[in-house]
């Protein structure tokens, strides 16, 4: 997964509305990139599992997990928050993909 391109797409998405969601999504992508965790094909539950596994070797991921509302006390709340952020990532990944196709890049 090309996290740099996604970070750029999320940061440039002024239509996203609330800047809090943009900031949280960028923080997620930066933590995933640094830890080498790929979201491709993951559900919020499996993504959270992968992030927890990576946290022991990647302090940035451990710090990110501490900032997820609900984690670790309420896994369901943390998964729900992660699901929202993953949705934001997916929307921007799709936009970037469509833009690439429109520019003749496939």
Average pLDDT taken over every residue of the chain: 86
Identify the burial level of 76 via C-beta atoms within 10 angstroms of its C-beta, where 0-12 means exposed, 13-18 middle and 19 or more buried. Answer: exposed
Average pLDDT over residues 28-33: 95
Is residue 35, in this structure, part of any structural domain at all?
A: yes
Is residue 104, in this structure, part of any structural domain at all?
A: no
Is residue 105, in this structure, part of any structural domain at all?
A: no
Which candidate, 34, 66, 33, places its Cα nearest to that of 52? 66
Is residue 67, in this structure, part of any structural domain at all?
A: yes
pLDDT number for residue 101: 55
Q: Is the pLDDT score of 105 beyond 60?
A: no
Is residue 106, in this structure, part of any structural domain at all?
A: no
What is the extent of the structural domain holding 18? 3-99
Which tokens is 51 given? 């992030």
pLDDT number for residue 81: 94
| Chain centre to alpha carbon of residue 92 | 11
More confident residue, 35 or 96: 35
- How many domains, in total, are found in the chain? 1
């Amino acid at each position: 997964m090309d996290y740099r391109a996604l970070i750029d797409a999320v940061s440039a998405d002024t239509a996203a509305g609330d800047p809090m969601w943009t900031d949280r999504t960028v923080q997620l992508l930066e933590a995933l990139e640094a830890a080498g965790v790929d979201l491709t094909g993951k559900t919020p539950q499996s993504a959270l599992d992968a992030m927890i596994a990576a946290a022991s070797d990647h302090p940035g991921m451990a710090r990110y997990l501490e900032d997820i509302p609900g984690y670790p006390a309420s896994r369901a709340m943390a998964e729900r928050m992660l699901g929202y952020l993953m949705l934001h990532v997916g929307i921007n990944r799709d936009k970037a993909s469509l833009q690439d196709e429109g520019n003749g890049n496939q």
